[in-house]
Amino acid sequence: MNQKSTHVVWEQSLITRQDREALNGHKSFVLWFTGLSGSGKSTLAHAVEKKLFEMGCRTFVLDGDNVRHGLSSNLGFSEDDRKENIRRIGEVAKLMMEAGIIAITAFISPFQVERQSVRNLIPHSDFIEIYCKASLETCESRDLKVLYKKARAGEIKNYTGINSPYEAPLKPELVVDTDALSVEESVITVIAFLVRHGVIAA
């Protein structure tokens, strides 16, 4: 959509992101989980948050539960609405990061172009895309909410993997093979990556 805001010039905050990071004792950044429904994104995002919190980090998970019922409650599941949903989530993740928080998102976010748009909002090294890689078969066999079945039956439109595409990330910062790894192993993989890249302390 177009930039519609005009007459918009405001003063800068007196507290910088660096000030907030210093108070918190850790960096802030965005962990963007992407993958099919049933690929374990949300479970992994919450488990990674728990681990980071136990390490003393300020964290927050943006997921369907707190976004679709609130900020995006006036959006449906058409392609335009799904794009606008991801756009809003990207903007909120950015604000959270600026507030000193490790913002963690867990949305299918199936389209490369949308994820790239979010990436473009955020300084290069602060956007960490994690692809939860699982086969459609695995995801469909999990189908906890019976949504794949409904999509196969044509009862749900635009369901990613069935009647809407999932575009796997081309160059994600990290791939977690959730077909092969347990949740615990996946958490270790993510935390090890963050330590190795110097964004959190061991």
Q: Which residues contact a second copy (rule: CB under 8 A)?
A: 1-15, 19-20, 23-24, 42-43, 46-47, 49-50, 53, 56, 58-66, 68-77, 81, 84, 88, 91-92, 94-96, 98-101, 121, 145, 147, 156
Q: Of 39, 72, 109, 186, which one is the catalytic site residue?
A: 109
Determine the Cα angle at 172 with ends 167 and 174, to 5°.
125
Q: Please identify, using beta-carbon distances, which residue of 96 and 194 lies nearer to a second copy.
A: 96
Phi, psi of 78 (to 5 degrees): -65, 165
CB of 90 to a second copy, least distance (A): 9
DSSP letters spanning 83-112:
HHHHHHHHHHHHHHHHTT-EEEEE-----H
Q: Please identify, using beta-carbon distances, which residue of 147 and 175 lies nearer to a second copy.
A: 147
Phi, psi of 18 (to 5 degrees): -65, -40
Phi, psi of 34 (to 5 degrees): -135, 150
Q: Please identify, using beta-carbon distances, which residue of 73 and 171 lies nearer to a second copy.
A: 73
Q: Please identify, using beta-carbon distances, which residue of 63 and 167 lies nearer to a second copy.
A: 63
The rounded distance, in Å, linking the Cα atoms of 28 and 200 is 9
The rounded distance, in Å, linking the Cα atoms of 157 and 192 is 38
The rounded distance, in Å, linking the Cα atoms of 95 and 97 is 5
CB of 184 to a second copy, least distance (A): 14
CB of 109 to a second copy, least distance (A): 15
With both helix axes pointing from N to C terminus, report the angle between 112-121 and 79-98 in degrees, rounded to the nearest 10: 20
CB of 17 to a second copy, least distance (A): 10
Is 72 among the catalytic positions? Answer: no
The catalytic residue positions are 109
